[in-house]
Amino acid sequence: RGTSTTAATAKRSRTTSTTWPSSTSSSPGQCPNALARASVHRRPGRPLLTYHCCVCRYGRVWEIWFDGNKGTNATKMTYHFQEWFDTVRQLQGSINIFSDAGPDIRWVGDEKGFAGTTCWSAVNQSSITIGSAGIEKYLNEGDPRGTEWVPPECDVSIRPGWFWHRNETAKPLSQLLNIYYNSVGRNCVLLLNAPPNATGLIDGADMARLREFGAAVKRIFGTDLAEGSRARASSERGGGFEAGKVLDGREETYWAPTAEDGRRNGYWIELRRPAGARAFNVVRIQEHVALGQRVERHEVYVDGVAVARGTTVGHKRLHRLACP
């Protein structure tokens, strides 16, 4: 798979010491030497890991990729991932580390940009390792009994493959929007690859498609058509968790029902829109994931008619409806 942030190269080391240049600053975005390179030297026979300027010359780095893919004819070796992770943390304390098994973000299990229709953010990291075969379905769906919070990331290219080729073009807008609904709309982060061309620049046509895609997302989600509605629910916990909190536009507030309510007949919330309100064809549901992920099943009704059904929600679930 293609890497999005930086690459690490392993070499054999004959040194036995750990050395740093004269400057020992380890602040985020600052490299310990003028060549923007940090080396970890281990005893003979262990790898020498060198991180180049990607992790320390560009200010704060949000994410680093450790690709789990390895060619069938590649040299067999042991990778010291935890030591690499520790080195990255020293250089970028708040960075998100991506791999098949996290520790912060996990691969979603495919490269088409689709999460599972059921998608839990949690997994059991003890049951997965980087580069293991046969774990794609587990990564795609997550684990409702998972013990580690490792949200999935959908990685896909704007082009047919990870690299630029003159005879290929970017995916059409309709396909990119479909990817968005099946990644961001299924509790995932979307990483959209835009490969540089032969000149080292992003192709002009790809840039135009990216702008078109961004404008479409803003147009679709820029206005919440639920604004002005009246909310009521099966129950309210009170103390700042009223049904109306789902309409205040704030990520940190939310509706919470009473526990007894769920034991009786499930939870529900109703939004009654004002007369003359605009028609809609997308429903967005979100959980307050700071408290974890709890919804296992949900249904959406319009005027008493079921229009959408699903399982998990997580950070965001998007349902596209038939045009009204």
Res 51: pLDDT? 54
- For residue 241, pLDDT over 60 is answered with yes
Domains 100-222 and 230-320 share a fold: no
82: CB partners within 8 A, 6+ apart: none
Average pLDDT (250-255) is 94
CA atoms within 13 A on the CB side of 47: 15
Domain positions in the chain are 1-98, 100-222, 230-320
Where does the pLDDT of residue 186 fall: very low under 50, low under 70, confident under 90, or very high at 90 and above?
Answer: very high
178 Cβ contact partners less than 8 Å away, ≥ 6 residues apart: none
Third-level CATH fold of 230-320 = Jelly Rolls (2.60.120)
Q: Is 10 exposed, middle or buried (0-12, 13-18, 19+ CB in 10 A)?
A: middle
100-222 domain in CATH 3.20.20.80?
Answer: yes
- Whether pLDDT at 21 is above 60: no
pLDDT value at residue 320? 97
pLDDT band of residue 54 (cuts 50, 70, 90) is low
Q: What number of other Cβ atoms are within 10 A of residue 213's Cβ?
A: 21
pLDDT at residue 266, rounded to an integer: 82
Quick check: 104 pLDDT over 70? yes
pLDDT at 38 over 80: no
Residue 97's pLDDT band (cuts 50, 70, 90):
very high
Average pLDDT over residues 153-161: 97
The pLDDT of residue 4 is 35
Average pLDDT, the chain: 84
Q: What is the pLDDT of residue 16?
A: 27
Q: Beta strand pairing status for 148-149 and 122-123?
A: antiparallel
The lowest-confidence range among 16-20, 93-97, 177-181, 220-224 is 16-20
Which has the higher per-residue pLDDT, 48 or 233?
A: 233
User: What pLDDT does residue 324 have?
Assistant: 60
Measured CA to CA, the distance from residue 116 to residue 102 in angstroms comes to 18
| Residue in the structure block whose two tokens are 């835009």 | 194
Apex CA 69: angle with CA 66 and CA 72, to 5°? 145
